[in-house]
Amino acid sequence: MTDLALIARALFTPGKGVLAADESVHSATARLASYGIPTSAEMRRQYRDLFMGTEGVEQYLSGVILFSETMLEKGNDKKLFPESLAARGILPGVKVDLGTEPISTSPQELITQGLLDLPERLAEYKKQGAVFTKWRAVVRIDGDQLPTAAAIHENAKRLAQYAKEVQTAGLVPIIEPEVLLEGKHSRARSRAVIEEVLGTLFSVLEEHSVDLTSVILKTSMALSGSESGKKDTPEEVAEDTIAALMQSVPRKVAGIVFLSGGQTSDEATANLAAITRRAKEVHAPWPLTFSYARALQEEALSLWGGKEENVLAARTAFLGRLSKVSAALG
């Protein structure tokens, strides 16, 4: 097994998963504001510290995805965040895409930016202690109109170029083609889109000679759209999600992590439990775990409210959610 494949495997240590703490300045500001928390660079640092500074997270976290700003900041323990994580046996990773912009020929769809100076930035992140990276593409469903094949293909090409550059730099790539929950679509449509997106992605990765043994897929679950009026049972989500993955993801892939994508904390936990059960039933070939942001953060953020006196209660809630999500891995 290569060194990169070993790092990828370590992210799937049984009972552990990945905290996504890589919100850009724009997303972190919006997240804090939505909980009535004041927004500033210092509040963003405290927001990161609330989670990463929680005693005992190493029981549940194999890795944390950081935002570039956080790579250079210190927690309340006066250690740089990547160093503090590594000292507790948690692998530090970093989001390296630079966000999305509308596609000129299909303005309702998005293309992810960030390839131009990627090799230089990867060298810096590696010096700062990152051992893995993440790039997110966004896929919007609208009836049979969206996504277009052209948008799926262009995002796949960029994900493949990113993954190749990252492996060349000696880091593990997480590839995240997020199929959005927003919309009126059915779960069947979500499953079909996930299959199409992943089918295209893995064929383009192969064209770019990306080594799949150190690639981690971060995927959405197959869910009915948030405006469909339908609430799926965890068993329905699990059946369609695992079917889509079995159809489209090569056995060689190092592992699959799930995003929570706007589900509540309880939904994301119950759906993960059903998915891991279903994966065992059908002998799915890859290790699975979580890579949640919102579903791990929401209870703690409501309790915290940006106030020092609430830190302990917020951290207790965070650890409680981590323990439930870890238990969902079976």
Report if residue 299 touches ligand 5MM, rule: CB under 6 A: no
Q: Which one of 58, 73, 83, 178 is in contact with ligand 5MM (CB under 6 A)?
A: 178
**Per-residue buried b or exposed e for 261-299, using 16+ beta carbons within 10 Å of the residue's own CB:** bebebebbbbbbbbbbebbeeeebebbbbbbbbbbbbbb
Note whether 295 binds ligand 5MM by CB under 6 A: yes
Binding mask 50-89 for ligand 5MM (x = CB under 6 A): ---------------x------------------------
Please confirm, yes or no, whether 218 is among the known catalytic residues.
Answer: yes
Of 187 and 294, nearer to ligand 5MM (C-beta) is 294
Does residue 99 touch ligand 5MM according to CB under 6 A? yes
Listed residue (213, 148, 223, 159) closest to 191, CA to CA: 223
Among 9, 121, 136, 321, the residue binding ligand 5MM under the rule CB under 6 A is 136
Q: How far is the CB of 270 from ligand 5MM (least distance, A)?
A: 15
Least distance from ligand 5MM to the Cβ atom of residue 283, Å: 27
Q: Choose one: 17-25, 153-161, 230-238, 300-308; the region binding ligand 5MM (CB under 6 A).
A: 17-25
Binding string to ligand 5MM for residues 189 to 228, with x set by CB under 6 A, is what? ----------------------------------------
Beta bridge partners of 94: 66, 133
- When binding is defined by CB under 6 A, the residue of 259, 301, 317, 322 that contacts ligand 5MM is 259
* Binding status of residue 121 toward ligand 5MM by CB under 6 A: no
176 among known catalytic residues: yes
Q: Is 23 in the site for ligand 5MM (CB under 6 A)?
A: yes
Contact between 24 and ligand 5MM per CB under 6 A: yes
SS3 per-residue string spanning the chain: CCHHHHHHHHCCCCCCEEEEECCCHHHHHHHHHHCCCCCCHHHHHHHHHHHHCCCCHHHCEEEEEECHHHHCCECCCCCEHHHHHHHCCCEEEEECCCCEEEECCEEEEEEECCCCCHHHHHHHHHHCCCCEEEEEEEECCECCCECCHHHHHHHHHHHHHHHHHHHHCCCEEEEEEEECCCCCCCHHHHHHHHHHHHHHHHHHHHHCCCCHHHCEEEECCCCCCCCCCCCCCHHHHHHHHHHHHHHHCCCCCCEEEECCCCCCHHHHHHHHHHHHHHHHHCCCCCCEEEEECHHHHHHHHHHHCCCHHHHHHHHHHHHHHHHHHHHCCC
- 328 belongs to the binding site for ligand 5MM (CB under 6 A): no
Q: Which of 154, 165, 176, 299 is catalytic?
A: 176
Q: By CB under 6 A, which span of 19-27, 49-57, 160-168, 191-199 interacts with ligand 5MM?
A: 19-27
Q: Which is nearer to ligand 5MM, 23 or 267 (CB)?
A: 23
Instruction: Tell me whether residue 22 or residue 195 sits nearer to ligand 5MM (CB atom).
Output: 22
- Catalytic center residues: 176, 218
Site for ligand 5MM, rule CB under 6 A: 20, 22-24, 27, 65, 95, 99, 136, 178, 259-261, 292-295
